[in-house]
Structure 1
């Protein structure tokens, strides 16, 4: 019988003890004596968030298909248990075996957003693993980072033995085989890292040296170990249909953020929005076969007991077999009480027809993401939406019975003017006006238009990676302009406005484009008590500002300057396929407000695909 790492007395003291006991439906149990490698897969946030992450479910299934590997899960303990574990000296443990993480061979951490960085240090600290990779010994786990934030891993470079750049389904088997071979031959930790550095997509930060110019920008970024590569090439699954996907994902004991079956229908996006990192790093678009998705829908619902199925994609409307798939799901499962969730849809006639069949219109709201209020700004960001398209979509929705709309915008975009900001509430008002233009007998009560603005953050590998940001006061001033304009609108009683936390935005911006020097800021913030920084109730900006002050790091250097064309970025050693030349060209188009067609209308030569005689023959990576 499996012994829990926490006794009953502790479990009764903490919130949601089911976060820590494991043994959920479809979790994998193995005989530890019959496996060669124990791999702890970590999401550095609370259980409910981590269990909702599809990437971990895919890797968990993939690793556990190997007889020689036992992949187990670990999440950040919530603050109540964190306190007890420190007081009682309880080491962090995996859910499946309840064994200490320090006893594992690997600790793989998926890094999805910048404000989880102090949670990564919490994971290492509670596990008894030295925070700095250079301080780890032969018996410590190999700490691996993966996920979107590893496309600029440098702020975390000190804390990781290696990073995996790209789709996880590609190189992990080679990496695990190399580990087994090295151990069999009596090889050292360094010798394994040297073997790993030879593999495509693997970056070992300890094998590189950075030098700086007097102005603080990077002078050079070079390998100092003969086994390390000058360029790390992103790894990509070309055929999504024939790769790994879990038919029986783990089912949590408690309600989680995404408590449903998730079908990933495609990766990548054709749209080319200039602010969107995912749209660049996950290029090119790759679809899963519709028959495979139908089969998996059956099996996953049967194996989990979930009552909702969600289609996952950056832009679901661009999936070529969407109509066939959605029609099938409605016909097969709607009568069984299965809800169908369709995120990331463009609001057109087909989408509204589908949503009318799968949603309770009176209860649900529709979501539009114009991102910018004025047409000029939508052209700058290459959104590919006109005001006419937005109003027509809203009009069709209102005629279909909806009366609630959510709108998402960004403030602080490059070239943004005061007039552009004011166009956000004006567009919201035009949408409300479109509703009230309907005959009274066709309206469903009063309409509600809820508008949210986040503050723009330039991301690596986007055309806006050269752009400047603003300070906290400037962001608040921009939100105030929008708020004031909302109060001036004719239909203001039907309009609501919310804006994102400016202090968090400033920090996200620093870490999104930061370099190795920021490791000491993260370490100092953690020492001061920063944890769960993406949670409003736990975020403490004063401690973060103290961490920057104590380490002598200037926020303005990272956020308040536009980058020069030839500046070396901390992430330039990574090749995602999209060329820096293409991104800079798009940056120039943005400044002129010039629109670039999406990939299906016209190839813009971003570099991801190889062409022969004008015809695409294969993907670059």
Structure 2
């Protein structure tokens, strides 16, 4: 944790975003590194730490002994403001060094509305935001991710785009950088030219884009020899041997996805004509069930998470789903690990699969019909029937599920009002199917949730040339669908049409949009992916001021012969195939899935034939053929150890004393509880679990500490079901703690924690104010009335009655106060109230005078004896 953020970090929202020190974080000696990489996620920590791609790429680079890849996240506006006020640059989580000091700065582009954050982060790092303004002393700025499949809107800001899958490509680029540096051949210009010669890297400064009078593109040509006319997307052929982060960083605060994410396969056999991922991730490559089970078990043991989420476009299309689920369910139930399923294909959701996942701890299953009528499903190539959908719903209901979520789109090409009304009609049929399903509890209330997105034409799809409907039209479609829904058992959620339009502008944008991105950042337009910061009107003003027409990008039909901004990228699927699919859509002609008939999309040329089981010559394994599963033995007991006998009772309650300091001081009590729970699970200690829907270790904590307050001798009670010595408990837990936590001792608890009545606190007020002549102890002799916050609101409270003892010591840097304060659940005094009174008396501004809080001890009724 950087020292220069301590004075204000408690004042920002969720300070745990910025402090680092998580268990599993990797630290290297930077003086021994040949290359340092700052890997930036252009959104907040909670979202970035849930991103599997970032974990894979950082891990792949850190596998190299001479490379250190550190993490960076976009600071929330309140944090950015304080950093800019104090001249603090954007910094990394591990070393805390400024991002501008690194050799390579990498960004992952997952969403178009994060583009402004990328530019803002470069500016905050002190790096020239325009690629053309950087010299040899500047870092190389690279970017990848799905949005890099149309790199042009960000071409002004990025030196190199990594196109496709990066876990083999980025180490190759790193080796090139190191070799050129060591040989003395490195200059920025030479490195960019050399990088352009590697497969999967696009250097926009080496291409010239020319335009026609009507604003369309006339050509995209390389400026020099050795630069390919089109950049081929990079893929990893063998996922079984590819790097996977089974031992990963465990965040100290809650993230969007607090669970293990397991990538099952890449690619898709279906070919939905609107779906970008379904085309740019081809060909299909699967991991073996053995690899998946090994990775899942290792990740659970390493993290202490209680849930595994399957990451793929459709888990029910995995050709070895039966063998895989057999191997996974062999141990997950006993290990109290839940399996989270993504959206399922209704036509491949079988009774066998339903039976296998019937124990999954969720009452909701998700399916994606995408369109409300058979005609429109044929147009978009969603090859499922209403019968498939109702059969899948019936299977879900028969297994005890009561809720189904259905994904749809509105504004699709060739959509009519009948198609929209069909969404409501299909949802009603699903409700009726519940009551038609034998064996369900008819007294229970089924629920269908409709999640309806706006169609956005995406590059490298058959619909890349189709127009998006204008926001007013999309809004009318949304209102019409709402009017069709009359059953209260149907919930309806829809996307903001204005947000979707800006997304479409950048999805189909060209280099000229760089000026709009830069202007938006200069005018404070960041975090556009967040509702509270997105301004449609502001974007329209920016486009208008620069002579850019959003309708040109988002809302017009693009002719077959027109050059597209992303034509410089070869995604593996041929242009001819995409045009064929576009014309078939206009005639409502579906295309068979890959496992039924190869449609010659071209993707089979990207990998050895045996790696794509559906391409000609590929190995078409029988999805129902059982494969031998070798269940790996757990590295240690713990998450993978069997459940204890329900009749087994705790042997004793162990009280663990620990410290919570430094970076860990800035997480809240719920985050501390989660951190400690995962720590105990990872330890493999035989602890008692709660019973019910979501079992977890039975832990009891003392009175919570406020965010920003340290604790030197905190306690937590753990129930042990086997005879384990205190020394073993301490020795087992100590190596697993995050930075800022130390396990001090463990002992048999003497009574319950409600015996705690007082706490000894140290309050250090940093101030340069003159404190001579101020008797701080006497400030609290008589009544001290303040407005104290409570659950019922604010009320006047005499805090002197909640202070048993107080003394002060003056230092050069301010004043240190030691106070014994009430710490009972019914009578509790937050030490910050004492600091507030002292600061007022000393004339220190409320937002000045940095204060450090440390709870030294937890005391019994006498205010002297420490809890044991």
TM tier relative to shorter chain = over 0.9
Q: Could you tell me how far 1:186 is from its partner in structure 2? A: 4.5
Partners of 2:556 and 2:91 lie apart in 1 by 43
TM-score of the pair, normalised by structure 1:
0.95
Alpha-carbon spacing, 1:337–1:439, altered in 2? closer, same or farther (3 Å): closer
Which entry has the higher C-alpha Rg, 1 or 2?
Answer: 2
Alpha-carbon spacing, 1:615–1:82, altered in 2? closer, same or farther (3 Å): closer
Partners of 2:586 and 2:308 lie apart in 1 by 41
Whether 2:579 is the aligned partner of 1:584: answer yes
Q: 2:147, 2:507 within 8 Å by CA — same for their partners in 1?
A: yes
Which aligned pairs between 1:248-259 and structure 2 lie closer than 5 A?
Answer: 248-259=247-258
Partners of 1:292 and 1:571 lie apart in 2 by 35
Q: 1:267, 1:313 within 8 Å by CA — same for their partners in 2?
A: yes
Q: Could you tell me how far 1:6 is from its partner in structure 2? A: 4.1
Q: Tell me what 1:421 maps to.
A: 420
Partners of 2:328 and 2:263 lie apart in 1 by 14
**1:91-138 CA distance string (max 9 Å, x none):** 000000000000000011000011101111111011011110000121
**1:385-441 CA distance string (max 9 Å, x none):** 101111111122222222211111100000001111111111111111222335796
Q: 1:41, 1:108 within 8 Å by CA — same for their partners in 2?
A: yes
More displaced 10-residue stretch of structure 1: 209-218 or 441-450? 441-450
Q: As a proportion of its length, which structure holds more helix? A: 1
Q: 1:313, 1:344 within 8 Å by CA — same for their partners in 2?
A: no
Q: Tell me what 2:532 maps to.
A: 537
Partners of 2:454 and 2:148 lie apart in 1 by 22
Which aligned pairs between 1:60-459 and structure 2 lie closer than 5 A?
Answer: 60-184=58-182, 185-346=184-345, 347-360=349-362, 364-438=363-437, 442-443=441-442, 445-459=444-458
Which aligned pairs between 1:519-598 and structure 2 lie closer than 5 A?
Answer: 519-598=514-593
Partners of 2:545 and 2:265 lie apart in 1 by 45
More displaced 10-residue stretch of structure 1: 42-51 or 426-435? 426-435
Q: Could you tell me how far 1:618 is from its partner in structure 2? A: 7.6
Q: 1:528, 1:547 within 8 Å by CA — same for their partners in 2?
A: no
Q: Could you tell me how far 1:51 is from its partner in structure 2? A: 0.4
Q: What RMSD over aligned residues (CA atoms) do the two structures have, in Å?
A: 1.7
Q: Could you tell me how far 1:60 is from its partner in structure 2? A: 1.2
**1:452-483 CA distance string (max 9 Å, x none):** 21110010000001101121111101111111
Q: Tell me what 2:504 maps to.
A: 509
Q: Could you tell me how far 1:310 is from its partner in structure 2? A: 1.6
More displaced 10-residue stretch of structure 1: 438-447 or 35-44? 438-447
What secondary structure does 2:359 align onto? helix
Partners of 1:530 and 1:281 lie apart in 2 by 30
Q: 1:528, 1:543 within 8 Å by CA — same for their partners in 2?
A: no
Q: Could you tell me how far 1:615 is from its partner in structure 2? A: 7.8
What secondary structure does 2:514 align onto? helix
Consecutive aligned runs of 4 or more in structure 1 exceeding 6 Å deviation = none
Q: 2:431, 2:448 within 8 Å by CA — same for their partners in 1?
A: yes
Q: Could you tell me how far 1:578 is from its partner in structure 2? A: 0.6
What secondary structure does 2:316 align onto? helix
Structure 2: 5+ residue stretches without partners? 620-868
Whether 2:596 is the aligned partner of 1:601: answer yes
Partners of 1:524 and 1:357 lie apart in 2 by 52
Alpha-carbon spacing, 1:468–1:65, altered in 2? closer, same or farther (3 Å): same
Structure 1: 5+ residue stretches without partners? none
Q: Could you tell me how far 1:71 is from its partner in structure 2? A: 0.4
Q: Could you tell me how far 1:171 is from its partner in structure 2? A: 2.2
Pick from 512, 515, 518: which aligns with 2:513?
518
Alpha-carbon spacing, 1:437–1:120, altered in 2? closer, same or farther (3 Å): same
Partners of 1:183 and 1:506 lie apart in 2 by 44
Larger relative contact order (Cα-Cα within 8 Å, sequence gap ≥ 6) = 1
More displaced 10-residue stretch of structure 1: 343-352 or 387-396? 343-352
TM-score of the pair, normalised by structure 2:
0.69
Q: Could you tell me how far 1:600 is from its partner in structure 2? A: 0.5
